């Protein structure tokens, strides 16, 4: 592919993205150091049409890479045409015909030795070639002509920072920002420079950069990092939470927030409290794994009711919403001492119960002293009991997908060993059986690394029919919470269910529109679903010619491709694809600081299409018309889950 000879505008050298590692010393880039950290991007850019355009003009380059103009370019009253063989641009339409020799930025300086931006651009070109001395001389010339020029001072500041001349770098960057108070890049680099010995000033500069460019996640992350270093953890956490609300896939912010949350504990409110004696013979009412411990929890109404009857016999148990609350307890183990829970702290998802007790030498005989308290459930994952961490199952969770609750229509169906039997109506003698069809399959549905489950359910109404559903069981803290069940149909022929790259697919067969119920189902159907906010959501019906394909999407300046796992070809993604904007947004979200070609695993719905006859897509063998972005799965693989 050849380039057309064109005119190039001004470009500015900008700072490289800040290091993602908390605690690592931040560095500067902008010229030669770019290649060290971004070798692949440098290689791609240096051989691209845009990269090649930045080199000096030569006859051999023109013959190999440039295509002669077929018609003039009109600018105002003048017309221009590049004659690549002669190496000139011809201007007509003014007073007389002129020829301008095609050259580098130096030509602009020859025409106007006092032109500032060509000097800056020349410096950038030298810096890209690693010739920092020449770059500095060119910037000094620019600053002699215009000492307050923002672009010249900004690039000189970066160059000085790269040379570890921090005082000079700070001076030039401050001049740049004074001239152009909207230059967020200057404020950001001043934040990095001053952080070494003036943290308060660094925070102020980072805040300016973030306010000027709120859409730039790196600036907000850097502000949060230095706020944390400054000791203002609450402000840092608020900044990170706001950042992640806008850029939920920004990994550096996720890691920093997690680390800060781990180091920050908080006291939970004690919504209700009770104290009293508890009979030793009823300790078997406590959860089995907690009967020998001094501290534990009750996370569902049934367990709490059994304990309450022994704890406060004859007293009506309080009404507790176990979806939002949990009960913790503290009791004697060896000696009888009055107990009272005074505090429950939460740190990184782990609660610890603090209790006051009297001191005595009375051994435990027929009773123990017990204290109980109600606390909010939100954010609680484990209870610390001595050296142990006991997982707190979510409300409605159970130890496996065959023993949990599923929502089928408006009813909650509790499975025990994969089965449930209920009356079809109150007082009715007829029974309805719900059971698991086949066996559950396991795979990650929400990206947390846990093995969630998917399964087929059937409800047998006898003569009324047999209805089939697909459901999921979300694994939470070593337990499973069942989801809603999605109807597949009545008297269908279920085949199997699978999980692949966060997507559930249920395969089954149905009858044709005109076939009687006595006919054997023979038309294959697949239903695709994803887990969204604890609910199983069906993907919009896929058209007759459409497919749901898993594979790698690559988005870049000149690249827009999809390589399905089932097809070795790389397909051009059509520009008219309804899902294209969402696909591009997902890539930008995953790589917010990248300017190269980025690859991300996705599940797309759509259909094959002919390749375009012109443009970048013409270089591909075929195209793909994407109608729906089903799932973004960064850890995706072409190997299916179980």
pLDDT > 60? residue 641 = no
Decide which of 371 and 83 is more confident: 371
Mean pLDDT of 145-167: 81
What are the Cα distances from residue 476, in Å, to 163, 211, 377, 397, 458? 52, 38, 13, 8, 25
Closest C-alpha among 505, 600, 615 to residue 562: 600
Q: What is the pLDDT of residue 397?
A: 52
536 vs 506: CA distance, rounded Å: 12
Q: What is the pLDDT of residue 395?
A: 47
Residue ranges of E strands in 165-307: 265-267, 272-279, 295-298
pLDDT > 80? residue 425 = no
Q: What is the pLDDT of residue 56?
A: 58
Residues in Cβ contact with 541 at an 8 Å cutoff, skipping those fewer than 6 apart: none
Decide which of 37 and 401 is more confident: 401
Per-residue pLDDT reduced to its tens digit, 587-599? 999 888 777 788 9
Q: What is the pLDDT of residue 277?
A: 93
Mean pLDDT of 7-33: 32
On the CB side of 597, CA atoms within 13 Å amount to 14
pLDDT > 60? residue 111 = no
Q: What is the pLDDT of residue 146?
A: 80
Decide which of 304 and 50 is more confident: 304
Percent of the chain with pLDDT over 90: 28
Mean pLDDT of 38-52: 49
Tokens representing 280?
């030793």
Per-residue pLDDT reduced to its tens digit, 513-545? 888 878 888 899 999 999 998 899 998 767 777
pLDDT > 60? residue 426 = no
245 vs 258: CA distance, rounded Å: 15
Q: What is the pLDDT of residue 51?
A: 53
Decide which of 512 and 12 is more confident: 512
Tokens representing 151?
């672009």
Mean pLDDT of 87-107: 68
| φ, ψ (nearest 5 deg) of residue 483 | -100, -170
pLDDT > 50? residue 108 = no
Closest C-alpha among 406, 504, 417, 525 to residue 454: 504
Q: What is the pLDDT of residue 540?
A: 73
164 vs 20: CA distance, rounded Å: 21
Closest C-alpha among 45, 40, 62 to residue 558: 45
Per-residue pLDDT reduced to its tens digit, 542-575? 777 788 999 999 998 888 999 999 887 999 999 9
52 vs 43: CA distance, rounded Å: 11
pLDDT > 50? residue 338 = yes
Mean pLDDT of 26-43: 40
Decide which of 489 and 480 is more confident: 489
What is residue 463's DSSP assignment?
A: G
Q: What is the pLDDT of residue 101?
A: 64
On the CB side of 196, CA atoms within 13 Å amount to 13
Quick one: pLDDT band at residue 470, thresholds 50, 70, 90?
very high
pLDDT > 70? residue 47 = no
Q: What is the pLDDT of residue 193?
A: 84
The domain covering 13-55+103-247 belongs, at the CATH homologous superfamily level, to: Tetratricopeptide repeat domain (1.25.40.10)
Quick one: pLDDT band at residue 430, thresholds 50, 70, 90?
low
Mean pLDDT of 188-201: 84
Q: What is the pLDDT of residue 128?
A: 59
Mean pLDDT of 457-475: 85
Q: Across 12-21, 70-79, 285-294, which has the greatest mean pLDDT?
A: 285-294
pLDDT > 80? residue 40 = no
Q: Where are the alpha helices (DSSP H) in 146-299?
A: 150-162, 166-179, 184-194, 199-212, 217-230, 233-246, 251-263
Minimum mean pLDDT range among 281-285, 401-405, 552-556: 401-405
Closest C-alpha among 365, 359, 373 to residue 276: 373
Contact 122, 105 (CB under 8 A): yes
Q: What is the pLDDT of residue 477?
A: 62
Q: What is the pLDDT of residue 454?
A: 96
Quick one: pLDDT band at residue 244, thresholds 50, 70, 90?
confident
Q: What is the pLDDT of residue 152?
A: 81
CB atoms < 10 A from the CB of 39, how many?
10
Mean pLDDT of 404-408: 86
What is the dotted CATH code of the domain comprising 547-632?
2.40.50
Q: What is the pLDDT of residue 7?
A: 30
Q: What is the pLDDT of residue 105?
A: 42
Percent of the chain with pLDDT over 70: 80
Closest C-alpha among 43, 11, 19 to residue 596: 43
Q: What is the pLDDT of residue 479?
A: 74
pLDDT > 70? residue 42 = no
Quick one: pLDDT band at residue 373, thresholds 50, 70, 90?
very high
The residues facing 497 across adjacent strands are 506
Q: What is the pLDDT of residue 262?
A: 61
Mean pLDDT of 112-135: 65
| Intervals of CATH 2.40.50 along the chain | 547-632
The SS3 of residue 176 is helix
Per-residue pLDDT reduced to its tens digit, 600-614? 999 999 999 999 988
Residue the block writes with tokens 């183990």:
333
236 vs 222: CA distance, rounded Å: 10
Per-residue pLDDT reduced to its tens digit, 249-262? 787 788 788 777 66
CB atoms < 10 A from the CB of 284, how many?
10
pLDDT > 80? residue 64 = no
Q: What is the pLDDT of residue 41?
A: 45
What sign does the dihedral 339-343-344-347 (CA atoms) show?
Answer: negative
**Mean pLDDT taken over the chain:** 79
274 vs 317: CA distance, rounded Å: 12
pTM (whole model) above 0.75: no
Q: Across 25-34, 42-51, 281-290, which has the greatest mean pLDDT?
A: 281-290
């Amino acid at each position: 592919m050849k380039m057309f000879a064109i005119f190039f505008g001004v470009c500015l050298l900008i700072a490289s993205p800040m290091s993602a590692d908390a605690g690592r010393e931040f560095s500067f880039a902008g010229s030669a150091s770019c290649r060290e950290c971004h070798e692949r991007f440098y290689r791609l850019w240096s051989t691209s049409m845009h990269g090649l355009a930045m080199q000096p003009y030569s006859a051999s380059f023109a013959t190999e890479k440039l295509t002669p103009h077929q018609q003039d370019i009109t600018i105002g009253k003048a017309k221009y045409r590049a004659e690549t063989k002669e190496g000139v641009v011809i201007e007509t339409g003014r007073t007389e015909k002129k020829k301008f020799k095609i050259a580098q930025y130096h030509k602009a300086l020859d025409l106007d030795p006092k032109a500032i931006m060509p000097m800056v651009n020349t410096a950038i070109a030298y810096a890209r070639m690693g010739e920092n001395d020449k770059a500095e001389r060119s910037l000094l010339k620019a600053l002699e002509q215009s000492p307050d020029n923002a672009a010249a001072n900004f690039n000189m500041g970066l160059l000085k920072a790269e040379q570890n001349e921090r005082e000079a770098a700070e001076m030039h960057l401050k001049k740049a920002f004074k001239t152009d108070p909207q230059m967020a890049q200057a404020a950001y680099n001043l934040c990095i420079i001053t952080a070494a010995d003036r943290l308060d000033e660094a925070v102020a500069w980072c805040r300016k950069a973030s306010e000027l460019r709120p859409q730039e996640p790196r600036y907000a992350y850097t502000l949060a990092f230095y706020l944390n270093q400054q000791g203002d953890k609450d402000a840092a956490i608020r900044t990170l939470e706001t950042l992640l609300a806008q850029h939920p896939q920004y990994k550096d912010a996720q890691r920093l927030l997690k680390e800060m949350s781990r180091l920050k504990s908080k006291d939970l409110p004690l919504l209700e409290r009770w104290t009293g004696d508890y009979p030793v013979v009823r300790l078997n009412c406590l959860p089995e794994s907690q009967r020998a411990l001094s501290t534990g929890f009750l996370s569902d109404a049934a367990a709490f009711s059994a304990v309450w009857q022994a704890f406060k016999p004859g007293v009506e148990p309080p009404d507790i919403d176990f979806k939002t609350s949990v009960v913790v307890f503290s009791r004697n183990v060896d000696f009888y001492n009055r107990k009272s829970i005074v505090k429950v702290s939460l740190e990184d998802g782990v609660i610890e119960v603090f209790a006051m007790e009297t001191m005595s030498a009375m051994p435990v005989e027929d009773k123990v002293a017990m204290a109980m308290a109600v606390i909010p459930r939100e954010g609680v994952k484990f209870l610390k009991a001595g050296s142990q961490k006991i997982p707190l199952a979510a409300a409605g969770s159970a130890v496996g997908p065959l023993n949990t609750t599923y929502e089928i229509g408006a009813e909650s169906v509790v499975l025990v060993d994969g089965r449930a039997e209920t009356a079809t109506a109150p007082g009715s003698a007829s029974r309805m059986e719900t059971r698991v069809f086949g066996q559950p399959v396991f795979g990650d549905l929400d990206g947390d690394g846990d093995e969630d489950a998917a399964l087929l359910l059937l409800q047998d109404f006898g003569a009324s029919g047999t209805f089939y559903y697909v459901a999921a069981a979300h694994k939470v803290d070593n337990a499973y919470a069942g989801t809603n069940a999605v109807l597949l149909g009545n008297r269908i022929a279920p085949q199997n269910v699978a999980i692949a790259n966060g997507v559930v697919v249920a395969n089954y067969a149905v009858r044709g529109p005109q076939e009687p119920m006595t006919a054997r189902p023979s038309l294959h159907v697949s239903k695709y679903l994803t887990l969204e906010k604890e609910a199983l959501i069906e993907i919009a019906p896929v058209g007759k010619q459409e497919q749901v394909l898993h594979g790698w999407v690559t988005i870049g300046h000149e690249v827009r491709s999809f390589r399905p796992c089932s097809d070795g070809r790389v397909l051009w993604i059509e520009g008219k694809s309804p899902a294209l904007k969402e696909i591009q947004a997902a890539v930008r979200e995953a790589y917010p600081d990248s300017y190269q070609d980025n690859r991300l695993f996705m599940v797309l719905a759509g259909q094959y299409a002919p390749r375009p006859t012109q443009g970048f897509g013409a270089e591909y063998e075929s195209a793909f018309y994407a109608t729906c972005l089903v799932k973004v799965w960064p850890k995706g693989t072409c190997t299916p889950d179980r």
